[in-house]
Amino acid sequence: MQTAQYRFAMAGIIHETNTYAEASFGQTTLSAFEQYQGQEIIDAFTGTNHQIGGFIQGAKQHLVDLHPIYLGQATPSGTIAQSAYLEMKAKILNGVKASLPIDAMLLALHGAGVADGFEDIEGDLLASLRSLLGPEIPIAVVYDLHANCTPEMFANADISLPCKLYPHIDFADRAVEAVDLVVLMRQQQIQPVSAVRYLPILPYIVTTDQGFIPAEINAHCQRLLQDYPTIIDCSWFHGFPYADIEAPCPTVICTTNNDCALAEQIAEEIATLIWSQRERFLPQFFTPHDAIQIALEQQDLSKPIVINEYSDNPGGGTPGDGTYLLSAILNAPNRHKRICFGMINDAAVVQQAMKAGVGQQIDIQLGGKLGPMQGAPIVCQAYVKSITDGHFVNCDGAMFAGVHFDLGPMCRLIIAGVDVIVACRAEQVYDEIPFFMHGIDILQYDIVALKGANHFRARYNHLAAKIITANAVGLSSADILSFPRRHLKRAVWPKDAVSDLDEVYP
């Protein structure tokens, strides 16, 4: 048996914070986080398409002695309570202290985390870890693509890698890459240096699927990696617009092997390319009413039409009980098609269904309970078709493939002929499993409506004849200019008339 050459610690805090959601359903407390410590982390994430799963895989490939410390992760939601963040931070710092000496630190972070009193939890955590570990111990971080980056985040890490794809189906690959790079650092084969370029843009949430401009930018970054052997990584963070912070903006980072001038040159080149294409980021979506009408007009398709409700996307921190799209479906005239909808968050209705039992009719007020932007509750009669425990694992090919989810008890209701999946917690749809577990084969339906912005595409691009995006009022609405910006300190396009990349950002 070969002896481990290095000893790495591993930890993480993963939360995408929608600061606007706090007004609707409060701060995010520690109880909202899934918490794992020590061996629990290995048991839960080995073999998954998750940052932690990739760290585990990479450590195994390099015979690294991996010390899992702590992981706290929660579905996107409102501002994190200060006590929750400080407790998670303390668990990581104390765990790292107990694991010393180590040869490197691996971190799974989102990059858009905000706590009460801490606008940048990632930068704060990294600064504390750097103070603890000193300048010689490599720190590598794998972030979500939608990180809102700060100088503190980059100054206190040697390797900063975002996932590059949206849907985020490359988390594990990027984490393996991070381990590879840290091993090369320990072997003194590379000396990473980075250049960063911030862009004065309020970021729209746009997919990297083929045909969208970010795919072209990623391809350009890939060509640069091939043209310049000293480039270690060239990436851009899209940013996250649903946070009222100083700079919720896209960021370019180029990391080279000890070539500062090249890093600066390439970061500037990519930033200029993104800036030149900014008009192409502007989304063009349909109202829920128009989306369902377009779907109903489609004829003779061998696959279902998918309508995604962009504006109430739990993956962007919304409550998930918005009723705009479901109401439009139920009120649509001449609705002679098989339609299913998933998932709306309403624990009270699930409890009502459980009390009545399968096969019973219940009078309900569905959704619209968790804030003024969620629409009116749907007052109707529903037939309880099935009830499950709400536990499932994402399938291969989906984002977070292999990751376990627990949405509390769930039920399938039939409302005016429409199959509706109701959960006790907010979550976006990643794949077809939430439908399948309730007896729904989506390929037998004409229209599949779901909550989510883009992650569902990892599976549904192959399952759908067409995807139609519906946008309405909501805490993840595409109308990002409608959100107040009390803390924004820079002029940003398209909110402001910024015409030159160098007007605001150095």
CB 129 within 8 A of CB 148: no
Number of other residues whose CB lies within 10 A of the CB of residue 391: 13
Question: In angstroms, rounded to a whole number, what is the distance separating the alpha carbons of residues 342 and 418?
Answer: 11
Nearest C-alpha neighbor of 400 from the set 207, 235, 56, 167: 167
Tokens of 20: 């606007």
Which residues does 395 contact at the CB level (< 8 Å), separation at least 6?
401, 431, 432, 433, 459
Question: In angstroms, rounded to a whole number, what is the distance separating the alpha carbons of residues 102 and 285?
Answer: 50
Question: In angstroms, rounded to a whole number, what is the distance separating the alpha carbons of residues 203 and 148?
Answer: 10
CATH architecture type of domain 1-190: 3-Layer(aba) Sandwich (3.40)
pTM score, whole prediction: 0.95
Amino acid 34: pLDDT:
98
Q: Could you give the residue range(s) of every CATH 3.40.50.2300 domain in the chain?
A: 1-190
SS3 at position 468:
strand
Nearest 5 degrees, angle CA 78-CA 79-CA 84? 115
Q: Could you give the residue range(s) of every CATH 3.30.70.1130 domain in the chain?
A: 192-282+480-506
Question: In angstroms, rounded to a whole number, what is the distance separating the alpha carbons of residues 492 and 281?
Answer: 14
SS3 at position 248:
coil
CB 178 within 8 A of CB 142: yes
CA-to-CA dists, residue 174 to 52, 157, 316, 452, angstroms: 10, 16, 22, 23
The type of residue at 412 is R
Number of other residues whose CB lies within 10 A of the CB of residue 464: 22
**Hey, what CATH topology would domain 192-282+480-506 get?**
Alpha-Beta Plaits (3.30.70)
Amino acid 506: pLDDT:
43
CB 201 within 8 A of CB 107: no
Cα-flanking dihedrals φ and ψ of residue 113, to 5°? -90, 135
- C-alpha distance across the termini of the chain, in Å: 53
- What is the pLDDT tens value at each position of the chain, 506 positions in all? 577 899 999 999 999 999 999 988 899 999 999 999 999 999 999 999 999 999 999 999 999 999 999 999 999 999 999 999 999 999 999 999 999 999 999 999 999 999 999 999 999 999 999 999 999 999 999 999 999 999 999 999 999 999 999 999 999 999 999 999 999 999 999 999 999 999 999 998 877 666 566 778 888 998 999 999 999 999 999 999 999 999 999 999 999 999 999 999 999 999 999 999 998 888 889 999 999 999 999 988 899 999 999 999 999 999 999 999 999 999 999 898 999 999 999 999 999 999 999 999 999 999 999 999 999 999 999 999 999 999 999 999 999 999 999 999 999 999 999 999 999 999 999 999 999 999 999 999 999 999 999 999 999 999 999 999 999 999 999 999 999 999 999 899 999 998 888 755 54
The type of residue at 62 is H
Cα-flanking dihedrals φ and ψ of residue 434, to 5°? -60, -30
